[in-house]
């Protein structure tokens, strides 16, 4: 079935860039510093390149199957039943990913801003907002993400620029930390953890068939992932330069502490951490919204529904219950890391498998044509 062509290359790039920046923005510098030391920025770069490769594979497949979403050409390449199993696995995983993002969001809000507000209320409000926005079609979904991108990127980059006066070059040296600060296994862990932050790139497989020019999907994927990767990399360098590895290991949310070091002596803008939290809430909303919408579209394909709105409200209690499973913030981050790393089997493995199958079936057809 032909999809309406409503998304430009730049919108596609902005959609990817917006959804990738999410809840992990606050804590990831601490986790990368714990495992990679001063090599954290380099580990971040490798993680970005890994997920960029996956995004380019999905954008290529989207061009080869220009009227099919990821769920549809999975059925074509893997077979109906195996394709449905893959779709179900992706749906369940992204629902869990959204639940962990909502729980982490709730923990930050009730700890930093709304100490008297019950955790359940903050989580539920975010989920309801995402579910309400998810009732729209793909075109509106894309426009919402496009609209919010400047409100995420510009303030974050301004914040980083204002904190550089406290930076020390010696805190980020040496760039390669093998041998005495970390070992290979820890460094690989840091790379994979950074890759976990980019798993919303999977909306590439959802949006590509709605593009005017599917042959340029790779450009959108390149711009979107590189833009998000640049923000993560710059933020990692900035937090490391300001605090150093040892101090960062003792900070739960180094990015939030970084925002507290920035100040503008202009009336109510003297402290910028409340402004940064507002920006971060926007980033969390777009990331949760994208995960939720991706899961809903997977269910629509799985059950052959014509209208996805039936799922928007039904899934809220499921995600809410999943978000409330960790007992405390320590368990939250332990589960976030476990869910993120285990999910790479799906978000890296499935695009790679489909990419290989596409070329394998193409080579087989060419051989059959030659024999004929």
pLDDT category of residue 96 using cuts at 50, 70 and 90:
very high
Lowest mean pLDDT among 167-181, 229-243, 346-360: 167-181
Give percent of the chain with pLDDT exceeding 70.
93
Answer yes or no: are the C-beta atoms of 236 and 41 closer than 8 Å. Answer: yes
Residue 178 has φ and ψ, to the nearest 5°, of -65, 150
CA 271-244-249 angle, to 5 degrees, is 90
Read off the pLDDT of residues 236-266 as tens digits, 9 standing for 90 and up. Answer: 999 999 998 888 888 888 888 888 887 666 6
pLDDT category of residue 192 using cuts at 50, 70 and 90:
very high
Read off the pLDDT of residues 108-142 as tens digits, 9 standing for 90 and up. Answer: 888 888 888 899 999 999 999 999 999 999 999 99
The partner residues of 211 in beta bridges, in order of sequence, read: 7
Rounded-to-integer distance, Cα 139 and Cα 129, Å: 18
pLDDT at 366 over 80: no
Segment holding 26, helix H or strand E: none
CA atoms lying within 13 Å on the CB side of residue 16 = 36
pLDDT category of residue 4 using cuts at 50, 70 and 90:
confident
Answer yes or no: are the C-beta atoms of 94 and 295 closer than 8 Å. Answer: yes
Read off the pLDDT of residues 302-345 as tens digits, 9 standing for 90 and up. Answer: 988 878 888 888 899 999 999 999 888 889 889 988 998 999 99
Rounded-to-integer distance, Cα 300 and Cα 306, Å: 7
Residue 295 has φ and ψ, to the nearest 5°, of -65, -40
Three-state DSSP class for 178?
strand
Omega prior to 19 cis, within 30 of 0: no
The per-residue pLDDT for 134 is 92
- How does the average pLDDT of the chain come out, rounded? 88
Three-state DSSP class for 211?
strand
The per-residue pLDDT for 162 is 82
Structure tokens given for 318: 């499921």
Read off the pLDDT of residues 293-304 as tens digits, 9 standing for 90 and up. Answer: 999 999 999 988
Q: In terms of CATH, what superfamily is 9-347? A: Amino acid/polyamine transporter I (1.20.1740.10)
CA 290-293-297 angle, to 5 degrees, is 140
Read off the pLDDT of residues 158-178 as tens digits, 9 standing for 90 and up. Answer: 888 888 778 888 888 888 776
pLDDT category of residue 232 using cuts at 50, 70 and 90:
very high
The per-residue pLDDT for 208 is 93
Per domain, the residue ranges of the chain are 9-347
Report DSSP state, residue 208. Answer: G
b/e map of 284-299 (b: 16 or more CB within 10 Å)? bbbbbbbbbbbbbbbb
CA 88 to chain centre: 19
Rounded-to-integer distance, Cα 127 and Cα 143, Å: 20
CA dist 17 → 287, 293, 356, 365 (Å): 10, 16, 26, 37
pLDDT at 372 over 80: no
The partner residues of 178 in beta bridges, in order of sequence, read: 182
Q: Which residues, in sequence order, are CB contacts of 351 under 8 Å at separation 6+?
A: 54, 57, 58, 61, 205
CA atoms lying within 13 Å on the CB side of residue 343 = 28
């Amino acid at each position: 079935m032909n999809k309406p062509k409503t998304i430009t290359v730049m919108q596609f790039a902005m959609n990817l860039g917006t959804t990738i920046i999410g809840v992990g923005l606050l804590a990831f510098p601490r986790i990368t510093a714990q495992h990679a030391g001063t090599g954290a920025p380099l580990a971040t770069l490798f993680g970005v390149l890994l997920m960029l490769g996956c995004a380019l594979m999905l954008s290529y497949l989207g061009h080869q199957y220009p009227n099919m979403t990821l769920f549809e050409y999975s059925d074509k390449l893997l077979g109906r039943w195996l394709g449905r199993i893959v779709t179900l696995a992706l749906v369940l995983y992204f629902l869990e990913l959204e639940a962990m993002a909502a729980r982490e969001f709730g923990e930050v809000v009730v700890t930093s801003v709304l100490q008297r507000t019950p955790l359940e209320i903050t989580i539920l409000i975010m989920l309801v907002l995402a579910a309400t926005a998810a009732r729209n079609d793909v075109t509106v979904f894309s426009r919402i993400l496009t609209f919010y991108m400047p409100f995420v990127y510009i303030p974050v980059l301004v914040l980083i620029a204002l904190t550089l006066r406290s930076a020390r070059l010696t805190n980020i040296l040496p760039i390669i930390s093998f041998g005495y600060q970390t070992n290979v296994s820890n460094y690989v862990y840091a790379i994979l953890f950074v890759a976990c932050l980019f798993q919303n790139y999977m909306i590439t497989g959802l949006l590509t068939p709605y593009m005017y020019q599917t042959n340029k999907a790779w450009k959108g994927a390149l711009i979107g992932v590189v833009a998000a990767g640049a923000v993560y990399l710059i933020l990692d360098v900035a937090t490391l330069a300001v605090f150093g590895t040892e101090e960062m290991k003792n900070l739960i949310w180094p990015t939030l502490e970084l925002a507290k070091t920035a100040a503008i002596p202009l009336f109510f803008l003297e402290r910028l951490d409340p402004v940064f939290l507002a920006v971060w809430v926007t980033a969390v909303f777009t990331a949760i919204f994208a995960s939720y919408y991706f899961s809903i579209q997977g269910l629509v394909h799985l059950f052959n529904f014509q209208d996805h709105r039936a799922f928007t409200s039904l899934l809220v209690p499921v995600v809410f219950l999943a978000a409330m499973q960790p007992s405390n913030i320590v368990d939250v981050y332990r589960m976030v890391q476990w869910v993120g790393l285990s999910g790479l089997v799906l978000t890296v493995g499935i695009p790679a498998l489909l990419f290989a199958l596409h070329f394998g079936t193409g080579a087989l057809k060419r051989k059959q044509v030659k024999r004929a």
